[in-house]
Amino acid sequence: MFKKTTTSAVPTVKNSLQNALFLQTALLVSATVFLMVLTAYLLARSQIRMVTYDQLRTVASAKEDLLESILSRQREQIALLGDESEVVDSPAIRRLLGLEALFTVQSDRTITIVKGEIPYTLSAESINLIMQSETTTLFPIFLNKELVSYVIVTPKETVGEHLVAIFDADPLLAMALDSSVGNGNLYIGFRNENDLYLLHAQNGVPTSLYVGPFDDLFEKNVALALAAGGREGELETEDYADIKVLAAYRSVPTLGWGVMATTDRATAYAPIARLTSTMFAAGFVIIVLSVLFVLNLAKRITSPLLELKDKLSSLETKKWSFDRTIFTGNELEIVDNAAFELTGRLRDSYEHLEEKVRERTRELAEKNAQNEAVLRSIEFGLVVTDAKGIVNLVNDAMSGLTKHNAQDAVGKPFEGILTLAGKDDKPLDPKEHPINVVLQEKKTYLRVPDPGFLLVTADGQHVPIFIAVTPIMQGDTCIGTVAVFRDVTEDRRIDKLKSEFISLASHQLRTPLSAIRWYIEMLLHGDCGQIDHECYKPIEAIGVANDRMIQLVNSLLHSAKLEMGTFSINPKPIDLIDVLRSVEELFAHEVRSKGIEIKTSGVDAHVPIVADADGLKLILQNLIGNAIKYSPEKSQVEIIVTHGDKELSIVVRDQGIGIPEHQKQHIFEKLFRADNARSTDADGNGLGLYIAKIATEAMRGTITFISEEKKGTTFTFTLPQ
């Protein structure tokens, strides 16, 4: 029972604890490190961006302030120059101021040069702008989309007259673009009509570059366009060389320009990349250290477990030694101790069990020997089959009777061992073989009266046997059969002698009984002279007793003839109505006195039935006679005939005392009478149904009944047609 577990049954370790711990720790630590690095990266990035934007905003504001202050200074100077233009007489001073020309524009658009020379022809549009200025204003002058100069206009006291100064734009631009933003750049954008221009210093020379249509770029949130459009803010964008930059932008309202300071994003974020790689390196070290630590821990857990497993797998029957070896002071030691105690208990119970098994085996062997002895010694032949009819067990008596070898019989179909013939000596229809009947019906086979089977032995002899078969049931399933059978040659010989004797005696008795009857009839009819009134009754009683005696003798004679097989059966077409009428006449007196109604149905006068007239009369006489005898007064007896092509069926139904449930199985036995019948009618002899049964079977028919006590009985018998 406690066999050592074979190697194949040991489950292999698919997911080792070490691997699981290693994987889980590596995953957990890696995820933590990754999250920390990511958080640090994002924080540093936003911090750096904030600082960079601050710097860029400062540069842009400073530039805006510078430009604003230069321009306001120049405006003030122009206002003053209106009266003291001699200051700029010197070309050196003019160059210093960047002043190219100073002139007045009259209300009639006449231009009067005060100092210097206008370097180009002023367009009508520019003159319009000059004329419209009501305060000191500034506007740039473009030539071929190039900013060449800017004009500062101051209205003079004389109405309609304006003092105009043209400044060279280069010094202003040089100043505006002269800036460095660490690693960044400064751009100035301006709008001329609907075009956006970018001012930048190319090799120190201010250059203007056409960027695109202003409205589109403003829509698209291009920083320079936003600045030139009067907005301020910061964003991440691409510069004109498509390099990703961080940008801060502001506007210079006086000029309508925009200032944008940018710095290369990659350069700005360079410290973050360094920080991230440092953190990754540190994270990697943390991961390696954690994994090493966990591996060590896992080993400390798994090695005692594996040791425990080895100790447990080495346990086997009769080898229960288990030593405690784990003293880790933790749960593992508790498990080791529990295994130690369990092994001890297993050892004890195994030893106890072994003793029990030995004892039980001895008992079983004794019982088995006893059973075998019983089986061997019974004179009944025994054949045990499984549900398919294969022989499982036989006894010696079976060999003696069938002449088949007991050992050869086992494992073979029962038909070859227990071959039967009917009492007419013809081979038995396999369906009627008692073992097949039991396998089919799952009910005990014990036929009364005995059907008189003959056993066909291995050497071809036909031996009369009595056979009973019982099903072996497991719940509702029949798992086999037990057949017992016995040689009844001697019984049948004695029965035959008995029947012959009864037949002879009955014959001998019938003649004197008939004579007695004849004389009683004569006495009662006064053929021998008038008899006294007192003598009449006793003579009548003698007549009744004599009739009963004749009836009994007839029954005995019939049963003896049927048993001996001398009751000749000759089926031929007969009129069923005649037969029924003659039977009913027999009971006419009783029917009248009890007021019973006999109701016959289904009889067709034109169609004769095929049967032996005497046999049929004998059966009907017994069935109808019983129905009348066991029925109460004024009840009904029904006779229902169904005449089919192959079968004639006659039902005799009464409303009488019925048959007690517990005595139904004995009803066809010879001389059997049920308890309720004995108390109702003391004169029965228990031969009627016995005769009806053998007569029916002799005519190859069947007889069955259903009955309920105090409600009535229905007998049905069939005859082949």
Contact 384, 438 (CB under 8 A): no
Q: Does 621 bind ligand ADP (CB under 6 A)?
A: no
Task: Work out which of 673, 695, 699, 701 binds ligand ADP, going by CB under 6 A.
Answer: 673
Among 626, 655, 696, 718, binds ligand ADP (CB under 6 A): 626
Q: Kindly state whether residue 246 participates in binding ligand ADP, applying the rule CB under 6 A.
A: no
The residue range among 51-59, 444-452, 681-689, 693-701 that interacts with ligand ADP, by the rule CB under 6 A, is 681-689
Which CB sits closer to ligand ADP, 245 or 691?
A: 691
Residues 137-196 interacting with ligand ADP (rule: CB under 6 A): none
Site string for ligand ADP, 628-647 (x = CB under 6 A): --x-----------------
Is residue 674 a contact point for ligand ADP (CB under 6 A)? Answer: yes
Smallest separation, CB 626 to ligand ADP (Å)? 3
DSSP single-letter state for residue 709: T
Residues, the chain? 721
Size of the site for ligand ADP (CB under 6 A): 22
Q: Does 245 bind ligand ADP (CB under 6 A)?
A: no
CA 165 – CA 150 distance, rounded (Å): 8
- Which DSSP helix (H) or strand (E) runs through 358? helix 331-377
- In this complex, which beta carbon is closest to ligand ADP, that of residue 320 or of residue 672? 672
Decide whether 449 or 565 has the Cβ nearer to ligand ADP. Answer: 449
The residue (of 97 and 659) whose beta carbon lies closer to ligand ADP is 659
Phi and psi at residue 692, to the nearest 5°: -60, -40
- The answer to the question of residue 685 lying near ligand ADP (CB under 6 A) is yes
Which listed range, 237-245, 311-319, 495-503, 669-677, lies at the site for ligand ADP (CB under 6 A)? 669-677
Per CB under 6 A, 656 contacts ligand ADP:
yes
Q: Out of 686, 697, 702, 716, point to the residue binding ligand ADP (CB under 6 A).
A: 686
* Position 583 contacts ligand ADP (CB under 6 A): no
Task: Say how far apart CA 471 and CA 435 lie, in whole Å.
Answer: 9
The stretch among 44-52, 118-126, 234-242, 652-660 that binds ligand ADP (CB under 6 A) is 652-660
Do residues 464 and 358 make contact, with C-beta atoms less than 8 angstroms apart? no
**Cβ distance 500 to 560 under 8 Å?**
yes
Q: Does 713 bind ligand ADP (CB under 6 A)?
A: yes
> Strand, helix or coil at 408?
helix
Out of 208, 251, 506, 622, the only residue in the binding site for ligand ADP (CB under 6 A) is: 622
Q: Which is nearer to ligand ADP, 229 or 656 (CB)?
A: 656
Give the C-alpha distances (Å, rounded to integers) separating 365 from 354, 368, 372, 377, 394: 16, 5, 10, 18, 19
Stretch that binds ligand ADP, among 21-29, 190-198, 315-323, 665-673 (CB under 6 A): 665-673
Under rule CB under 6 A, residue 695 binds ligand ADP: no
Tokens of 407: 């050992």
275 binds ligand ADP (CB under 6 A): no
Cβ neighbours for 588, distance < 8 A, ≥ 6 positions apart = none
* Nearer to ligand ADP (CB atom), residue 136 or residue 663: 663
Q: What one-letter code names the amino acid at 252?
A: V
Confirm or reject binding of residue 654 to ligand ADP (CB under 6 A). yes
Sheet holding 391-394, edge to edge: 391-394, 381-386, 477-487, 462-474, 454-456, 420-421
Other C-beta atoms closer than 10 Å to the C-beta of 349 total 12
Given phi > 0 = left and psi -120 to 50 = alpha, else beta, which region is 495?
alpha
Q: Which stretch binds ligand ADP (CB under 6 A): 368-376, 405-413, 543-551, 625-633?
A: 625-633
Q: Which stretch binds ligand ADP (CB under 6 A): 59-67, 153-161, 569-577, 667-675?
A: 667-675
| Rounded Cα–Cα distance for residues 583 and 618 (Å) | 9
Neighbours of 387 (CB within 10 A): 14
Q: Is 167 helix (H, G, I), strand (E, B) or coil?
A: strand
Task: Say which DSSP state 699 is in.
Answer: T
Q: Does 217 bind ligand ADP (CB under 6 A)?
A: no
Provide the minimum distance between the beta carbon of 624 and ligand ADP in the complex, in angstroms, as a whole number.
9
CA distances from 313 to 17, 254, 294, 334, 699 (A): 19, 96, 28, 19, 77
Binding of residue 591 to ligand ADP (CB under 6 A): no
Helix (H) or strand (E) holding 646: none
Q: Out of 260, 689, 699, 703, which residue is the one contacting ligand ADP (CB under 6 A)?
A: 689
Q: Which residue, 178, 176, 172, is CA-closest to 151?
A: 172
- Residue closer to ligand ADP by CB (options 175, 598) is 598
Closer to ligand ADP by Cβ: residue 392 or 663: 663
CB of 617 to ligand ADP, least distance (A): 15
Angle, alpha carbons 715-717-721 (nearest 5°): 160
Tell me which stretch binds ligand ADP (CB under 6 A): 382-390, 408-416, 461-469, 656-664. 656-664
Q: Which range of residues in 19-27, 222-230, 497-505, 677-685 is near ligand ADP by CB under 6 A?
A: 677-685
| 234 makes contact with ligand ADP (CB under 6 A) | no
Closest CA to 625 of 681, 671, 670, 663: 681
- CB of 572 vs ligand ADP, minimal distance in Å: 27
Shortest distance (Å) from residue 514 CB to ligand ADP: 21
The Cα 404–Cα 336 span in angstroms is 64
Q: Is 657 in the site for ligand ADP (CB under 6 A)?
A: yes
**Which one of 260, 667, 694, 719 is in contact with ligand ADP (CB under 6 A)?**
667
In this complex, which beta carbon is closest to ligand ADP, that of residue 177 or of residue 699? Answer: 699
Smallest gap, in angstroms, from Cβ of residue 681 to ligand ADP? 7
Report how far apart, in Å, the C-alpha atoms of 367 and of each of 237, 358, 363, 377, 378 are: 103, 14, 6, 15, 16
**Binding range to ligand ADP, per CB under 6 A, among 188-196, 219-227, 258-266, 678-686:** 678-686
Q: Is 620 in the site for ligand ADP (CB under 6 A)?
A: no
Q: Which residues of 603-640 are buried (b: 16+ CB within 10 A; e: fewer)?
A: beeeeebebbbebbbbbbbbbbbbbbbbbeeebebbbb
The CA angle 426-428-429, to the nearest 5 degrees, is 125
For position 571 contacting ligand ADP by CB under 6 A, the verdict is: no
> Quick check: 556 binds ligand ADP (CB under 6 A)?
no
Q: Which is nearer to ligand ADP, 162 or 617 (CB)?
A: 617
Instruction: Please count the other Cβ atoms lying within 10 Å of the Cβ belonging to residue 297.
Output: 13
Closer to ligand ADP at the Cβ: 142 or 690?
A: 690
Q: Does 503 bind ligand ADP (CB under 6 A)?
A: no
d(CA 527, CA 538): 17
Radius of gyration of the chain (CA): 68
Evaluated on CA atoms 571, 577, 579, 583, the torsion sign reads positive
Q: Output 580 or 657, the one with its CB closest to ligand ADP.
A: 657
Among the listed ranges 73-81, 290-298, 398-406, 651-659, the one in contact with ligand ADP (CB under 6 A) is 651-659
Q: List contacts with ligand ADP (CB under 6 A).
A: 622, 626-627, 630, 654, 656-659, 667, 672-674, 677, 684-690, 713
